Structure 1
Amino acid sequence: MVFNFAGWRCATSCDIVHLIQQDIVMDQTASPFKFIDLFAGIGGLRRGFDVIGGECVFTCEMNKFSQETYRANFGEEHEIAGDITLVDAADIPAHDLLLAGFPCQPFSLAGVSKKNSLGRAHGFADETQGTLFFDVVRILRHHKPRAFLLENVKNLLSHDKGNTMRVILHALDELGYEVDFRVIDARSWVPQHRERIFIAGFRRDHKTTFSFNDVIIPDGPNPTLASILHPENGSEAADERYTVGKKAKVHERYTLTDGLWSYLQRYAAKHKAAGNGFGFGLVTPDKVARTLSARYHKDGSEILVAQRGKNPRRLTPRECARLMGFDRPGTNDPWKIPVSDTQAYRQFGNAVAAPVSVAIAEAMSPWLTNMVALRSRRERLG
């Protein structure tokens, strides 16, 4: 079986050609693995591990709107827990893999700047978010899963002059995990610069040779925004929520008002005169977007699509789903967006780019199933 995942070809245990290329032979005894999805958001990390045959046995996500989107797309397989600090580790089912996109605001450039301006703590000193990493540690210590994968913003590496990252790596090392990490830009899969740090670990008593060097990053050609924008030429069926008419034109409500467009231009000019790089990001279909953020719902300034003869427009939530790799034009099973535009923008801005998760999952998959054992058996038999 081969999954067509948002336009990226992702192999499963039955894709013999792919496995032979990796010098791995599978049989029908392939072992499934169980995983948990913490700080799940709308399931960006999960997407990759579903593709390689994992079974999600526990989900935790505090935001009720993200829970709604998660359920709409993954079903009602189990109850979604809310506040992780109120969850006893013993009540979490046994699992082989822990996934956690623990909150990034205490470490992000924008988050740190905002907290500094307000005189508030950030990083691990932020008691409401920063210390949630230690809930990950608490669960790892109790269950000792075979592996974990964590995700955060790139700024985690430099936060507090590198001390935050040292604390994280030391804590994971003390738990008995061999750890590797890498900053990966989703640009190779989607038309967006989106650098995120991924931290993976395997228990030392579960010997592997995994490293992020195993993650296959496409050589190109890299996609442009044309691959995710509504074509507006009638080749795409109209979606009454985002597009209208026979040509499925983007709804006028996504075009900036004269007042907002004037404000953004004045704001950009002011900061340019001051020597700052702040301003809006105006793009055309042949370009690549800036990083989509959770604040996109406010004014859309980081990604504005140029329009001939009128003000630029925001991306629609459907285009954001495609920009994050959850969806692609023409799919028969589009990503479900049951929430308001405001909530959808927040969710996609906070999400993990799905095809990056798929690539990492494929690199980790030999060590999460019995593929390694089968390969070793074949080598012993000559």
Structure 2
Amino acid sequence: MSTTDAPPVVKPQVLEFFAGIGLARIGLEQAGFQVAWSNDYEPDKQALYQGHFRDGDEHTFVLGDIGAVAGSDLPQDASLAWASSPCTDLSLAGGRAGLAGRESSAFWQFARLLDELGARRPEVVVLENVVGLATSHGGADLTAAVRAFNGLGYSVDVLFLDARRFVPQSRPRLFLVGAQHPPADGAVPCPELRPDWLQRPFEDPTLVTHQAGLPPLPPLRSTGLTALLEDVPRSDARWWDAERTQAFLGSLSPVQAARVRDLRGAPGVQRRTAYRRTRHGVAVWEVRADDIAGCLRTARGGSSKQAVVEIAGGGVRVRWMTPREYARLMGAGDYDLSGARTNQALYGFGDAVATPVVAWLATHYLRPLVSRSMRTVAADRSSPRLAPVRS
């Protein structure tokens, strides 16, 4: 058979829940998946998503509440379901209502749809969320999520990954990987992926879990921010005026002021990120000591946004971080931002998962797991799936 007669490569299909602006999709497709169906409830995110991907008929984006979606509405031949479910009620910034909260309870709608798919549910599922899921309600919410996947026939692995291993941004996240045909246990202990504080699900005999062997992670980064920042001219109006800059400097604690003073004495141009905190009821600015960004957040008020501090020749300039810088720090530097409003873009990127983290997980874990599962099913169609665990 000639190469021109070779059959086309069939890529595993993905259902993308809580899709946001599609950063998970970028990482998944870098690993050889094809996202066939996506859902989100925010029109601004949908506009960014569709403006970037410009899909044809091969992709469906459903705008609206996931609670209005039925299992019969979904493609029936997907191999992977990815869910970056709302983290508002699990994060420190939220009310810590957990999976029962108004937004984070959307997880249960995701589980409902998997249940409605029945025997056609994907072989592999992923839930991505903030690390607060591990401690929410004393760990009960994480246990409930694992148990819900068990009830649908999935063994679950729980992983901790920080985007700082791939980009100069501190962004820790949890990933629950559910598999109907999990790999055999025996993974080499990896405290970076499964630290001591994440052992509770694996030690609970009432849960069905596994641990996949994965390659070593890249080291945590402490530099790289400066290289990603835009070159904003001194005359640009985005730099804060003298009065606002002085107010910024005046809000610094003695420790923070000393940090800036040391940077002013350093040679060349120094750049750092800064963010506002409330200390003893007073809003103050804090400047990072290293050349990375803090965790990007949604632009819901000024305290959620990060500023760029540039120090050169003893002088200090400050401005807000730009949408393009957010995109670069999320590993999606070439994302199409044409026509996007500033806060629309900041919100979209601040509420997303970093692309290279998804690409690493998909390349080293999800794609091999899907391929292995497909071979298992093909070899023995009568092989029973993991017995559902019903409470």
Q: TM-score, normalised by structure 1?
A: 0.73
Contact 1:45–1:352 (CA under 8 A) maintained in structure 2: yes
Contact 1:32–1:369 (CA under 8 A) maintained in structure 2: no
**How far apart, in 2, do the equivalents of 1:65 and 1:183 lie?**
29
Q: What do residues 81-109 of structure 1 show as CA deviations (whole Å, max 9, x unaligned)?
A: 12111111111112111011000001000
Residue 287 of structure 2 aligns with an amino acid whose one-letter code is L
Which residue of structure 1 aligns with residue 368 of structure 2?
Answer: 366
Contact 1:254–1:316 (CA under 8 A) maintained in structure 2: no
Contact 2:155–2:182 (CA under 8 A) maintained in structure 1: no
Which residue of structure 2 aligns with residue 11 of structure 1?
Answer: none
Which residue of structure 1 aligns with residue 136 of structure 2?
Answer: 159
Which residue of structure 2 aligns with residue 317 of structure 1?
Answer: 323
Contact 1:124–1:131 (CA under 8 A) maintained in structure 2: yes
Which residue of structure 1 aligns with residue 32 of structure 2?
Answer: 53
Question: Aligned to 2:157, which of 169, 174, 180?
Answer: 180
Deviation of 1:298 after TM superposition, in Å, equals 2.0
Contact 2:308–2:319 (CA under 8 A) maintained in structure 1: yes
The number of residues matched between the two structures is 316
Deviation of 1:273 after TM superposition, in Å, equals 11
Contact 1:282–1:304 (CA under 8 A) maintained in structure 2: no
**How far apart, in 2, do the equivalents of 1:88 and 1:304 lie?**
45
Contact 1:181–1:212 (CA under 8 A) maintained in structure 2: no
Residue 201 of structure 1 aligns with an amino acid whose one-letter code is G
**How far apart, in 1, do the equivalents of 2:374 and 2:218 lie?**
24
Contact 1:268–1:278 (CA under 8 A) maintained in structure 2: no
**How far apart, in 1, do the equivalents of 2:141 and 2:217 lie?**
28
Question: Aligned to 1:255, which of 212, 234, 239?
Answer: 239
Deviation of 1:255 after TM superposition, in Å, equals 2.0
Residue 99 of structure 2 aligns with an amino acid whose one-letter code is F
Contact 2:14–2:81 (CA under 8 A) maintained in structure 1: yes
Q: Please list, as runs of the form range in 1=range in 2, the aligned pairs for 1:59-70 lying within 5 A after superposition.
A: 59-70=38-49
Q: Please list, as runs of the form range in 1=range in 2, the aligned pairs for 1:91-110 lying within 5 A after superposition.
A: 91-94=73-76, 95-110=78-93
Aligned-pair identity in percent equals 27
Deviation of 1:259 after TM superposition, in Å, equals 5.3
Deviation of 1:260 after TM superposition, in Å, equals 4.6
- Please identify, of 364-373 and 163-172, the stretch whose mean Cα deviation from structure 2 is larger: 364-373
Deviation of 1:189 after TM superposition, in Å, equals 0.7
Q: Please list, as runs of the form range in 1=range in 2, the aligned pairs for 1:352-363 lying within 5 A after superposition.
A: 352-363=353-364
- Please identify, of 348-357 and 253-262, the stretch whose mean Cα deviation from structure 2 is larger: 253-262
Deviation of 1:279 after TM superposition, in Å, equals 3.8
**How far apart, in 2, do the equivalents of 1:79 and 1:214 lie?**
32
Which residue of structure 2 aligns with residue 287 of structure 1?
Answer: 291
Which residue of structure 2 aligns with residue 236 of structure 1?
Answer: none
Question: Aligned to 2:99, which of 110, 124, 141?
Answer: 124
Which residue of structure 1 aligns with residue 309 of structure 2?
Answer: 305
Contact 1:186–1:195 (CA under 8 A) maintained in structure 2: yes
Which residue of structure 2 aligns with residue 141 of structure 1?
Answer: 115
Question: Aligned to 2:167, which of 184, 187, 190?
Answer: 190
**How far apart, in 2, do the equivalents of 1:306 and 1:282 lie?**
11
Which residue of structure 2 aligns with residue 44 of structure 1?
Answer: 23
**How far apart, in 2, do the equivalents of 1:346 and 1:251 lie?**
27
Q: Return closer, same or farther for 1:251/1:101 CA change in 2, 3 Å cut-off.
A: farther
Question: Aligned to 1:85, which of 67, 84, 88?
Answer: 67
Structure 2 gaps of 5+ residues are 1-5, 185-209, 255-275, 380-391
**How far apart, in 2, do the equivalents of 1:282 and 1:296 lie?**
20
| Corresponding residue SS for 1:280 | strand
Q: Return closer, same or farther for 1:280/1:178 CA change in 2, 3 Å cut-off.
A: same
- Please identify, of 302-311 and 352-361, the stretch whose mean Cα deviation from structure 2 is larger: 302-311
Which residue of structure 1 aligns with residue 340 of structure 2?
Answer: 339
**How far apart, in 2, do the equivalents of 1:167 and 1:173 lie?**
10
| Corresponding residue SS for 1:111 | coil
- Please identify, of 364-373 and 73-82, the stretch whose mean Cα deviation from structure 2 is larger: 364-373
Which residue of structure 2 aligns with residue 18 of structure 1?
Answer: none
**How far apart, in 1, do the equivalents of 2:131 and 2:284 lie?**
21
Deviation of 1:31 after TM superposition, in Å, equals 4.7
Deviation of 1:29 after TM superposition, in Å, equals 8.2
Q: Return closer, same or farther for 1:253/1:300 CA change in 2, 3 Å cut-off.
A: farther
Contact 1:292–1:303 (CA under 8 A) maintained in structure 2: no
| Corresponding residue SS for 1:293 | coil
**How far apart, in 2, do the equivalents of 1:53 and 1:274 lie?**
46
| Cα root mean square deviation, aligned | 3.3
Contact 2:222–2:292 (CA under 8 A) maintained in structure 1: no
**How far apart, in 2, do the equivalents of 1:213 and 1:368 lie?**
15
Residue 110 of structure 1 aligns with an amino acid whose one-letter code is A
Contact 1:182–1:212 (CA under 8 A) maintained in structure 2: no
1:170 aligns with 2:113: no
Q: Return closer, same or farther for 1:46/1:215 CA change in 2, 3 Å cut-off.
A: farther
Contact 1:98–1:145 (CA under 8 A) maintained in structure 2: yes
| Corresponding residue SS for 2:32 | coil
